Amino acid sequence: MRDYKVTAIVAVRKIMRISNERTGISLTETPVKTITLGNGSELKLYDRSQKIAGDRWRVSLIARMEVPISCLTSAEADRVSASADEIKSALGTYAVFEHKSERNFVAEKKKDEIFNGLCDSFLKSSLSYLSHCEFPARFIVKSYKTYIKKTILSGIRK
């Protein structure tokens, strides 16, 4: 009986780890910066760097933005032939934009410099795109289209 409990605990831990890997959410994310964009959205930057061997690191930047479904306009909803309620029931109350940038096997001395470079590069190339007034609605439509494709493909596989 005792072996069964230990096996069950190990199985639950593996499932939790796999679940975290699939969602991309790690318990070791450190918030670095929150930026309020011109379109009213909030972009949050996280440091998910991990020590991998000796003085070597995997330097990881996660940029995440929760886009509320309420940002969706009726014109954008019409592009996918769905009502805002249908989209909300499919995606929930918000769609999550996420971008990951990583550098592997970085020396500990250069870790902060590399991380700051990843942040600067991401913000320089993406800030105007994410700040655009039409980005939230268009991102929701894209997320809904992706959801529909996955639903159709999972139906075909069964």
- Residue 6's pLDDT is 40
Give me the percent of the chain exceeding a pLDDT of 90.
66
Tell me the C-alpha distance between 132 and 127, whole Å.
9
pLDDT digits (tens, 9 = 90+) for 71-113: 888 888 888 888 888 999 999 999 999 999 999 999 999 999 9
Contact 47, 61 (CB under 8 A): yes
Between CA 14 and CA 120, with CA 96 as vertex, the angle to 5 degrees is: 100
